[in-house]
Amino acid sequence: MHVGRENLNDAGDLVVEMRDIAKRFPGVVALDHVNFTVRPGEIHALVGKNGAGKSTLMHILTGLYPADGGDILVRGERIEAMTTSRARHAGIALVAQHATFVPALSIAENLATGALPTTRSGFVDWKRLNAIASERMAAFGLDIDVRRKMENVSVAERQMIEIARALFADASVIILDEPTAPLPKHEVRMLFEFVRRQRERGASFIYISHYLEEVFALSDRVTVLRNGRGVGVFATDDLTQPELVRLISGSDVERFRRPVRETVGRPVLRIAGLTRPNVYHDVDLTLHEGEVVGLTGLEGSGNAALARGLFALEPIGAGEVTLDGKRYAASRPEAALARGVAYLPRDRHGYGIVGIASVRDNISLSVLDRLRTVLGFLSLRKVIGLVEGYIRALGIKTPSQQQPVEFLSGGNQQKVVVAKLVATEPRVLLLDEPTQGVDVQAKVEILRIIDELTTRGVAVAVVSDELNELIDVCDRILVFYRGRIVREFRKGDADMTTAHILHAIEGGTEAADDAVA
């Protein structure tokens, strides 16, 4: 099928062509004469670091911002002054990460968007409404109960429904902006299969993502942007992942590898026989000073729940937990922090940052009481000193301490959250998917920060399913399967490879390992 697409190279066959697009914001050239094309029936990945111009380019294509220069052609026809309604008429639709549905209404009602069919007496004709909606969904291969409320529908299904809705409204180019960031692995697979099916029917997709594995798994071509310039367009099959990383960053991003450690520190957190019915069973686990331990497993295998339990966000269950030799049972997050257990939440925007507040306010938030003068007022000198120290230590890129955190890139936002946690001088640091939604370079920097933290004697647990990163940074990786720790991999051992770990994650036994190797 690739062969079939190769001969669509002449411009007449392009469904979208953006030529010489320029856009400047005060003080920044956001796009510097960028070209971008989409062929019919292709999945075109658009990649680049945060701030490279991907979103700006898409905002221009969907008419959200006017371009300062350049042409946009849809199916060979030039569109003057793109607006959101013109983009819609031209068949360009954006499926955002957070889909635009009304959660309290049913799927069918959401699909009808204000044009509910009525009976002769003027009431809503539910039968007809549901029949139309089911039929539409079935037409796109979606077999779902349209009477369910949108709030009970999984994120992947929601995205598929939104794609189907757009396609039904005659869209031919669908922009997917980081669609997989909020999804567990098995839902990603489901979404990808759906996207591929729609491609076979002739729909085109523009796929924006930081997850390069997914770019390779899904896309036909890749356009790389760097600092507002187009680096090039490539057939995905012609690229390797390290090559793509180099194109994105403009230089070799060194892979960070934590060295093998000879000595093991004193035990900090000891868990013995910890059981929470239906979540995890008989968990035995010890975190040592200066150690990084990865906790991985399928969604719902108990690894993430254990971290949340330790931070008192969920019940922890019954069993023995000691911290520095003393019993540990925190009833609330603040009690956990007081004992020296800090937690980095998965959803940075919901739980990590106070968006409108400044870098300074965010970093100092958990330790305000330490920054007082004798009279009880905040000492600006102490606050600035503390924040400056962390901005430097963690390499946070911000114009000033007073910059609102929501205006920083994803990687820098994440570093702000880490700084806030580290400021509490924790004994145990629980990190839940710390590299989610940050660009390649920032991922490496975050791994480096994790490594440096251990020199202060912190015990770090990383909950993640990014196996490559876990292998790079962890001294040990514990695999959870159905609530039990089934395997332990140690840095330096020959079997600490993605293939072996993946095998264990899916429930494979050690004995069957040879099949993998």
Partner 1 sequence: MGESTIGIPASDEPRRSGLRELGRRLGQIDEIGVIGALVVLIVLLAALVPETFLTAQNFINVSRQASYVGIMAVGMVFVIAMGDIDLSVGSIWMFSSVLMAIALRDGYAIWIAVAVCIVAATSCGLLNGALSVALGIPTIIVTLGTLSLYRGLGLVVTEASPVSGYGHDTWFFAWIGGRDPVFGVWISVWVMAVVAVFGWLLFNRTPFGRRVQAIGSNVQAARFSGIRIDRTRLLVMTLMGFIVGIAAVVALAFNRNGSPTVGVGTELSVIAATIIGGTALTGGSGSVLGAVLGALIIALIQNGLALLAVPPAWSVAVTGIVIIVAVTLDYLIKRRQ
Q: Which of 356, 499, 512, 517 binds partner 1 (CB under 8 A)?
A: 356
Bridge-based pairing state of the strands 459-463 and 428-432: parallel
For helices 410-423 and 440-454, give the axis angle rounded to 10 degrees.
Answer: 10
Q: Which of 139, 260, 329, 338 binds partner 1 (CB under 8 A)?
A: 338
Most distant pair of Cα atoms in the chain: their distance: 80
For helices 185-200 and 155-168, give the axis angle rounded to 10 degrees.
Answer: 10
263 burial via Cβ count (<10 Å: 0-12, 13-18, 19+): exposed
Whether the Cβ atoms of residue 52 and residue 171 lie closer than 8 Å to each other: no
Which distant-in-sequence residues (6+ apart) come within 8 Å of 122 by Cβ?
none
Confirm or reject binding of residue 388 to partner 1 (CB under 8 A).
no
Three-state DSSP class for residue 356? coil
Distance of closest approach, residue 388 Cβ to partner 1, in angstroms:
18
Q: Which of 319, 407, 484, 513 binds partner 1 (CB under 8 A)?
A: 407
With contacts defined by CB under 8 A, name the span among 14-22, 70-78, 237-245, 373-381 that binds partner 1: 373-381
58 versus 161: smaller Cβ distance to partner 1 = 58
Phi, psi of 329 (to 5 degrees): -150, 95
123 versus 377: smaller Cβ distance to partner 1 = 377
Confirm or reject binding of residue 83 to partner 1 (CB under 8 A).
no
Q: Which of 170, 351, 402, 482 binds partner 1 (CB under 8 A)?
A: 351
Distance of closest approach, residue 143 Cβ to partner 1, in angstroms:
30
Among the listed residues 345, 380, 348, the one whose alpha carbon sits nearest the alpha carbon of residue 361: 380
Confirm or reject binding of residue 130 to partner 1 (CB under 8 A).
no
Among the listed residues 318, 315, 273, 248, the one whose alpha carbon sits nearest the alpha carbon of residue 47: 248
* Residues 427-446 as x/- pattern, contact with partner 1 by CB under 8 A: ----------xx--------
Distance of closest approach, residue 406 Cβ to partner 1, in angstroms:
7
Size of the site for partner 1 (CB under 8 A): 54
Distance of closest approach, residue 17 Cβ to partner 1, in angstroms:
23
Confirm or reject binding of residue 415 to partner 1 (CB under 8 A).
no
274-333 binders of partner 1 (CB under 8 A): 332-333
Confirm or reject binding of residue 168 to partner 1 (CB under 8 A).
no
Residue 352 DSSP class: I
| Token reading at 11 | 């411009």
With contacts defined by CB under 8 A, name the span among 39-47, 354-362, 391-399, 486-494 that binds partner 1: 354-362
* Residues 183-202 as x/- pattern, contact with partner 1 by CB under 8 A: --------------------
Q: Which of 286, 322, 366, 497 binds partner 1 (CB under 8 A)?
A: 366
298 versus 383: smaller Cβ distance to partner 1 = 383
* Residues 16-35 as x/- pattern, contact with partner 1 by CB under 8 A: ---------xx-x-x-----
Confirm or reject binding of residue 465 to partner 1 (CB under 8 A).
no
Q: Distance between CA 512 and CA 494 in Å, rounded?
A: 16
Burial 432-446 (b: 16+ CB within 10 A, else e): bbbbbbbbbbbbbbb
Confirm or reject binding of residue 377 to partner 1 (CB under 8 A).
yes
Q: Which of 21, 46, 47, 52 binds partner 1 (CB under 8 A)?
A: 52
Whether the Cβ atoms of residue 208 and residue 176 lie closer than 8 Å to each other: yes
Confirm or reject binding of residue 65 to partner 1 (CB under 8 A).
yes
Q: Token match 């190769």: residue?
A: 6
Q: Distance between CA 183 and CA 178 in Å, rounded?
A: 10
35 versus 366: smaller Cβ distance to partner 1 = 366
Q: Which of 424, 451, 452, 507 binds partner 1 (CB under 8 A)?
A: 424
List Cα–Cα distances, 486 to 121, 299, 363, 479, in angstroms.
62, 15, 37, 6
Bridge-based pairing state of the strands 428-432 and 341-344: parallel
Q: Which of 102, 368, 499, 517 binds partner 1 (CB under 8 A)?
A: 368
Three-state DSSP class for residue 243? helix
Which residues make up the interface to partner 1 (CB under 8 A)? 25-26, 28, 30, 50-56, 59, 65, 97, 177-178, 332-334, 336-338, 343, 345, 350-357, 361, 364-366, 368-369, 371-372, 376-378, 406-411, 413, 420, 424, 437-438
